[in-house]
Structure 1
Amino acid sequence: MTLSAKREYVIQMRTIYKNANGKKEKSRILEQVSQTLACHRKHAIRVIRKPPAEVICRLRDPIYPNRLIRILEEVWIAAQRPWSVRLKAALPLWLPHIKQKWPLSSEEERLLLNMSAATMDRRLGPYKTRLKRKVYGKTRPGRWLRQAIPIQTESWNVPEPGWLESDTVSHSGPNAFGTFAYSFNQVDLFSGWVESLAILGKSAVNIVLGAEIMRQAMPFKQKGVDTDNGDEFINHPMKRYCETNDIQRFRSRPNKKDDQAHIEQKNSTHVRQLIGWDRYDTEEAVAAMNDLYRNEWRLLTNIFLPSVKLANKIRIGSRIKRVYGEAQTPLDRLRDSGLGDREKIAALYEQRKTMNPFELSEIVEAKLIRIWKLSTRVRPSREVPAARIKPNWTLEIGDYPPYCVPRVSQDVAKMRSGHRKERMLGTL
């Protein structure tokens, strides 16, 4: 019997005991209560005879006005709906831009900065929506060279930048048939720095070129990479690329996503909650995604949005307690460590002084609308000629860094129709 059920039972029996006639009937009621609650008779007497406690409701005026909560909601949305601990750490960095957008008094500024993470969670509760969608697409295990790559299972306690986890996210929509886009993601385990690139088909050539583009853009030297067992990573071109650039290779255990918990989290927060689950299978869509990934999204997530890092693990009996460090942006974590490419870090720090995160967020929203319009809404059939095309890989150079795409016929481009009508909302 639950505690609430016991309370309801005692209230009911108290009324029956009060209206009972004679000692024998009252004694019988006490015996029944004692047996039901599995307690001593004396305790049953005290419970039955005790008058019901008066509930005193202490109402107070709200500390945080509705205007401040609406401002907090707008900041939360512009910051891509982060976890409350990360949102609280981002407020001092965003405060000058918040004051430009909404005039704040000194008292409102004090209240906003002093608001606890738990209060933010509670007050933002009505605005949070959780959507569950099924992810499509498959990772085929790589058969070649797998035994030559060591397995890495513990990778959270890294003392220096340059040790990465890599993965791909499919944009196949409801059908993983034919050629479609992938988001190629890499995350630095030390700083939390994330790089993303869209590719059309996850061939070895695409993966190698994408890895080189992201390596050149990172503000630190790449020392190692941890991947899954997919054939897009376990192949000879990737082996030669890592040997040429002195990059150590590791892999996770088959069918164990927990071995790559860091990149799996970024796949959700940086791809699924941003792009969604629609199908993208054209060069134009991949170019639009790269225009977002390699510009505004990269700057917003790495220099304006704080992230938390696991600091310690404490075993308490059969359970493990995880202790997290102070929330910082990946750029601040690199600068405070004194490691990495100091010239690139200093240039990014000066660039942050001239940028407005709200303007970046608005540009991200505008580019997302364009990307969603390029999604393929028609379910591809097996009669589509483009699905049987053998890719002819060429290097395309545009306004964004080069990447490798196959030449797809116009039949695939004609399948694009409709517009994404819903936006994925996330809780970090």
Structure 2
Amino acid sequence: MKDFDMELTQKFAMQYAKANKKEKSNLLDEYCNLAYVKRNTAAQRIRRVRRAVYPGVLKTNRYQKKRGPKRIFTNRHKFILKLCWKQGRDICAERLYPQLRVYIKQLQKHTDNLDFYNKEEIDKVKNISLISCKRIIADFPKEKRSKSKKAEGIYSLVPVEADFSRQTKRPGNLEIDYVEHNGGSARGSFAISGNYVDIATGWISRAASLNKSLSSVEYIHSKALSKIYHIPRKFHPDNARTILKHLYAENDDMAVNPMKFSISRSRPYEKNDNPHVEQKNDDKIRKLVGYYRFDKKEQVNLLNEVYDIADLIDNFFSASAKLKFKVKRADGKTIKRIHSKPKTPYRRLMLNRHLDKETKGQLRTMYNGLNLVELNTKLDKKLKDLVHSLDDKQYDLTG
């Protein structure tokens, strides 16, 4: 661009900035006639000058005043309001506004936070309007509160372990769960069954009691452990408070628990964290005693007698296969599951190198003294007695 064109562009750019729409069109026509350029070129040159592409051509004020009304409340006023807002425990403006003078009076009386502000600034905050109060408070940083509830009480003391079911090498890692026998109604008292399953061997121990109180859970726990002959190393129940409290108290008592077993729990609402015991709940409890309601002491005693016999059959004579690995396709879909040779829990304990010889000898003596035919006969009789103890509404004996 020549010097003449530069001076001409500067002159027209200053006029262009102050002109209205019609005057701008006339200025562009006049510039095109003088500079011998097209209209688009003229508009582009003026636009470059106005955008300060050539800083020396057009001087502009970089620090222009902001448009709009003048600010009434400065940062000092906002800080006074924030102190009052904090005294109100981060309440909304509608609740803060009626008590604003009270909060300022309390701050002046009991703290020195307002000593750095003059009387005019404090009075201006006292006389603030509700709309201004809402607008200023909206910019204050709010405390972020987690949507999920934090672990409280016993839940904060017992750690969560999602992959507990992978501990399949050494016996003594027990999954625990409870099954309710309420017949579809949670009203009143009813029986519950505790199900203890060893992950490594599949050894199962069941016991029943009335109600879900701490004393009932303690009874189930002691009775179930009396039928487990190897040393428990770790317990893994779900999030039931009663069993967690009992296990934690027992673990904390050195006289009761000199071995100091460990405790963990599954994630809330995640049944896959306890897959072995969840499968046994259906196979070893529901299919055995059904979905009836048991709410009498006589029925609880019959349940325990049934479990005592069924535990011997399942642990010493009932073989089961364990999953070794899965064959998957490239997209991750399982196409085949490879299982180990079926063995009884008793056989797995006898073959396990971590079990001491004394315990193996005790189990061998028990096995040699068992009669499978006699056990099945007793079990059928106890199950028949359990069914006959039901109310006519639950079970029609003539049907």
Q: Does the alignment reach a TM-score above 0.5?
A: yes
Does structure 1 residue 240 correspond to structure 2 residue 240? no
1:29-67 Cα offsets, whole Å, 9 max, x none, are: xxxxxxxxxxxxxxxxxxxxxxxxxxxxxxxxxxxxxxx
Q: What's the counterpart of residue 352 of structure 1?
A: 367
Query: Would the aligned equivalents of 2:209 and 2:219 in 1 still touch at CA under 8 Å?
Result: no
Q: What's the counterpart of residue 287 of structure 1?
A: 301
- Residues 85-164 of structure 1 correspond to what in structure 2 (within 5 A)? 144-154=153-163, 155-164=165-174
TM-score, normalised on structure 1? 0.53
> RCO higher in 1 or 2 (8 Å CA, sep ≥ 6)?
1
Query: Would the aligned equivalents of 1:302 and 1:329 in 2 still touch at CA under 8 Å?
Result: yes
Residues 160, 316 of structure 1: alpha-carbon distance in 2 compared, 3 angstrom cutoff? same
Residues 341, 364 of structure 1: alpha-carbon distance in 2 compared, 3 angstrom cutoff? farther
Residues 220, 420 of structure 1: alpha-carbon distance in 2 compared, 3 angstrom cutoff? farther
Query: Would the aligned equivalents of 1:314 and 1:322 in 2 still touch at CA under 8 Å?
Result: yes
SS at match of 1:366: helix
* 1:310 alignment partner, one of 312, 323, 327: 323
Q: Give the CA deviation at 1:204.
A: 1.9
Gaps of 5+ in 1: 1-141, 379-416, 423-428
CA distance in 1, matches of 2:392, 2:243: 30
- Residues 32-51 of structure 1 correspond to what in structure 2 (within 5 A)? none
Larger radius of gyration: 2
CA distance in 2, matches of 1:293, 1:282: 17
Residues 211, 339 of structure 1: alpha-carbon distance in 2 compared, 3 angstrom cutoff? same
Q: Which residue type is aligned with residue 161 of structure 1?
A: P
Q: What's the counterpart of residue 148 of structure 2?
A: none
Q: Which residue type is aligned with residue 321 of structure 2?
A: V
CA distance in 1, matches of 2:247, 2:215: 8
Q: How many residues align?
A: 241
CA distance in 2, matches of 1:305, 1:229: 30
Q: What's the counterpart of residue 272 of structure 1?
A: 286
Q: Give the CA deviation at 1:324.
A: 1.9
Q: Which residue type is aligned with residue 330 of structure 1?
A: P
Q: Give the CA deviation at 1:240.
A: 0.7
Q: Which residue type is aligned with residue 384 of structure 2?
A: I
The CA RMSD measured in Å over matched residues stands at 2.2
CA distance in 1, matches of 2:364, 2:398: 37
SS at match of 1:145: helix
Q: Give the CA deviation at 1:314.
A: 4.9
* 1:250 alignment partner, one of 264, 271, 274: 264
CA distance in 2, matches of 1:251, 1:376: 37
1:49-89 Cα offsets, whole Å, 9 max, x none, are: xxxxxxxxxxxxxxxxxxxxxxxxxxxxxxxxxxxxxxxxx
Q: Give the CA deviation at 1:421.
A: 7.3
Query: Would the aligned equivalents of 1:144 and 1:234 in 2 still touch at CA under 8 Å?
Result: no
1:214-242 Cα offsets, whole Å, 9 max, x none, are: 2233121001111111223233x331113
Q: Give the CA deviation at 1:316.
A: 3.4
Gaps of 5+ in 2: 1-150
Q: Which residue type is aligned with residue 287 of structure 1?
A: N
Query: Would the aligned equivalents of 2:154 and 2:241 in 1 still touch at CA under 8 Å?
Result: no
CA distance in 2, matches of 1:281, 1:219: 30
SS at match of 1:233: helix
Segments of 4+ moved more than 6 angstroms = none
Q: What's the counterpart of residue 176 of structure 1?
A: 186
